[in-house]
Amino acid sequence: MIGFLYILAIILAWMIGTVSFSFVNVIAYRFPKQKKILKEHFVCDSCETQLKPYEVIPVFSFIFLKGKCRYCGEKLAKRDFINEIIGGLLALLVFFRFGDVNDVTGEFILSSPLDIVVHFDIWKLLILLTIFVFFCILDLVFLVDFDTMEIPNRFVIVLLYVAVVSLLILPGISFVDHLIGAVCISVPMLLIMFAIPGAFGGGDMKLSAAVGLIIGWQLVSVGFFIGLLGAGLYGIVLLARKKKGKKDHFAFGPFLCTGYMIATICGTEVIDAYMKLAAYLHG
């Protein structure tokens, strides 16, 4: 019976992840176009034919339709398909990583599904939901900023609602850590913006403030530097391939969102690895 329960829990976590990130795809597509998110039918982007329910099942519809619209034959967006898979994987990772812990900033350990099912309670469910909703919003920011190079204020406001919940829900992060997290990255970014116009966007700064309030100063610092490193490497690749000039800009938000998700999952291990490397270099 227990074995059936944790297999069911794994399937449910995967389904929640794919469906949630599929909905994020819808918002990311419709929000910049000022379309109604819930009241408009799903249609093919090419021929605008209304799609049937079985044609919009996350992941599986793309596979069954072989990546093409069954009405006009145009290729479906691979990005949406990939994003849905990532959503399922992140939901499983959140489930295993935070399903049976008392400190979200503690050592990275993937819990046994059996342990999670046996010791599960409502409080841990709230922790899982808070973290996963946080990841969904970061994914939305990632997609919208990548497409428009803008992070809408209302996304940051939603993150602030999550921050209020995190102050009460997430274990292992003190109230002071939350407050320091809100300013330790955002304030230096603001100062750099004044000193070097265009260095960062206002949306990036506000995003970092909201995220820091959620995950605390240690993890937001790790996430920021992961994002900064990723953006730097991406910029070097673009310059090498001559797709961008030295004065051209690209969205920084996607790299921040990726860094913040990585830091939330294994930020402590990143800090430990850095400290060990620093100790080794200093002999």
Dig out the tokens for 187 from the structure.
Answer: 């304030």
Instruction: Provide, for the chain, the percentages of residues in helix, strand and coil under a 3-state DSSP scheme, each rounded to the nearest 5.
Output: 70, 0, 30
Evaluate whether residue 9 is within a structural domain: no
261 falls within a domain = yes
**Cα separations (Å) of 273 from 106, 155, 258?**
14, 33, 19
Asked, for residue 259, whether it belongs to a domain, the answer is yes
Mean pLDDT of 228-238: 91
Which three-class secondary structure state does DSSP give residue 248? coil
| Domain interval for residue 199 | 149-283
Quick one: how far is CA 21 from the chain centroid? Answer: 10
DSSP label at residue 149:
S
User: Exposure of 90 by Cβ count < 10 A (0-12 exposed, 13-18 middle, 19+ buried)?
Assistant: buried
- Tell me the per-residue pLDDT of 105-114, one tens digit each, with 9 for 90 and over: 888 888 877 7
* Residue 125 maps to a domain: no
Amino acid in the structure at residue 50: Q
Alpha helices in 34-101 (DSSP H): 60-64, 78-98
Number of independent structural domains in the chain? 1
Return the minimum-mean-pLDDT range out of 9-13, 99-103, 156-160, 169-173.
Answer: 99-103
pLDDT recorded at residue 133: 97
Answer for the pair 254, 245: CB distance below 8 angstroms, yes or no: no
Looking at residues 43-69, what average pLDDT do you find? 83
CA 51/CA 41 separation, integer angstroms? 8
Q: pLDDT tens for residues 88-136?
A: 999 999 999 998 888 888 888 888 777 777 777 888 889 999 999 999 9
Whether 60 is in a domain gets the answer no
- Beta-carbon contacts of 282 under 8 Å, excluding residues fewer than 6 positions away, are none
Q: Which two tokens stand for residue 213?
A: 């309030």
Which residues, in sequence order, are bridge partners of residue 50?
A: 43
142 found inside a domain? no
pLDDT single digits (tens) 18-38: 999 999 999 999 888 877 777
The mean per-residue pLDDT over the stretch 75-99 comes to 93
Residue 247 is assigned to a structural domain of this protein: yes
In-domain check, residue 233: yes
Q: How far is CA 15 from CA 92, 134, 245, in A?
A: 10, 17, 42
Specify the pTM: 0.92
Query: Which residues, 6 or more positions from 209, have their beta carbon under 8 angstroms from its beta carbon?
Result: 182, 183, 185, 186
Tokens 């990255």 found at: 185
Residue 246 pLDDT > 60, yes or no?
Answer: no
* Residue of 142, 129, 97 lying closest to 269 (CA atoms): 97
- Could you tell me which residues come within 8 angstroms of residue 90 by beta carbon, excluding any fewer than 6 positions away? 17, 21, 132, 135, 261
